[in-house]
Amino acid sequence: MTAFTDGVLAIIVTIMVLELRPPHGVGLKDLAELTPVFMSYVLSFLYIAIYWNNHHHFFHLVPVVDGAVLWANMHLLFWLSLVPFTTAWMGENHFAPLPTAVYGLSLLAPAVAWYMMQQTIMRTQGPDSALRQALGRDFKGTASPFLYLTGVGLSFVNTAAAGLLYLAVALMWLIPDRRVEATVATGTKD
């Protein structure tokens, strides 16, 4: 399953990078006009990298994968596969309000799918779930959807502020979850 996920995420990144088109002119001004497209690509690349990194860490704590976990993982990948579309739409329209809001929704959807996947894994592992023990209260997982929704609303008021909020959530997740890393390091498994 992790190899399949790796492949899908690699394709998602490839699709995003193929949306980067060279400027029509040869000057720095021509290149600068592509700044919104490049900025949206960098932010989305960061998000995909975070999901990939955390996926690998989480699945060190999942010794058995059943059909429910496979479908939960596919649900996550479905929502992540829409990120190239919303990335391109937002970047090419210079962070206009509606594309920026839809981009925020495209970040919210995989966050919800991630939560659902976690719940499926913990339900599969039972009450002594290694993942449940590693996550504890999961502040970042609880706060992220609310921050995305705030960003979506903020998109119609100030798109730069919404973009900074989306970046803040990414930075919050940039370092893999230390609780999961600590549990993996101690070798705790079901």
User: For the chain, how many structural domains are there in total?
Assistant: 1
Residue 73 lies in a domain: yes
* 190 within a domain of the structure (yes/no): no
Please indicate, yes or no, if residue 144 is contained in any of the structural domains: yes
**pTM higher than 0.75:** yes
Low pLDDT (below 70) residues in the chain: 177, 179, 181-185, 187-190
In a domain? residue 19: yes
Query: Residue 29 falls within a domain, yes or no?
Result: yes
Q: Rounded to whole angstroms, what are the CA distances from 22 to 35, 37, 175?
A: 11, 11, 32
User: Does residue 155 belong to any structural domain of this protein?
Assistant: yes
Query: Rounded to an integer, what distance in angstroms lies between the CA atom of residue 38 and that of residue 35?
Result: 5
Cβ count within 10 A of residue 98: 13
Inter-axis angle of helices 35-59 and 159-173, nearest 10 = 30
Count of CB atoms within 10 A of residue 141's CB?
Answer: 15
What tens digit of pLDDT does each residue of 107-162 get? 999 999 999 999 999 999 988 888 888 887 788 889 999 999 999 999 999 999 99
Domain range enclosing 43: 2-185
